[in-house]
Amino acid sequence: MVKLNRHPALKPRRTLAYMRSILQAGLKRRLGARLLTVTKKKVTAEMQVRKVHLNRDGRVNGGVLMGFADSLGAMGTLANLPQGYHTTTLESKTNFFAAGTGPVIKGVSVPLHLGRTTSVWQTTLKNADGRTVAIVIQTQMLLQARAAAAPREKPARKRKAG
């Protein structure tokens, strides 16, 4: 079941449909992640394991797992962003515990810290059998959008006399 926290502070652009659209661009599209729930305190998603995700040993590539986890932490941060802010990953730490195997990897991301300038999210990735594959802790930086700068006037050129 897909749920979205309808908290009044959750801005319209932070809807589940909007967040899903973010996952349809670039690397995130290639990952094929599917958001299941997004609230201010928890993000859940799953990624169907495809051949493109596998390393030469037939296990899910570590970079794929890290990218999936990063996407979940970013979605959680997005759900908590004040109006006029955007976010970027500042730091990420991954501990691997088991090989990632199909047919699906499930992820749950929860905030460890929600501050004024940063947020820290912990994402746990599990195989379909429930075995923990990795735990990722990432710091997201919150950046206030810059106001559009007024066009600069060119200084008047002085004409040479004579």
As a whole number of angstroms, the distance between CA 161 and CA 100 comes to 77
| pLDDT at 29 (0 to 100) | 67
CA atoms within 13 A on the CB side of 125: 34
With CA atoms as reference, report the closest residue to 45 among 137, 125, 114, 121.
125
Q: Which tens digits make up the pLDDT trace of 82-97?
A: 988 999 999 999 999 9
Choosing among 3.30.70.20, 3.40.50.300, 1.10.1270.20, 3.10.129.10, the CATH entry for 3-144 is 3.10.129.10
- The pLDDT tens digits of the residues spanning 96-147 come to 999 999 899 999 999 999 999 999 999 999 999 999 999 999 999 999 988 6
Q: What is the dihedral of CA 66, 68, 73, 74, to 10 degrees?
A: 110
1-39 residue pLDDT tens: 444 444 334 444 567 676 666 666 566 667 888 899 999
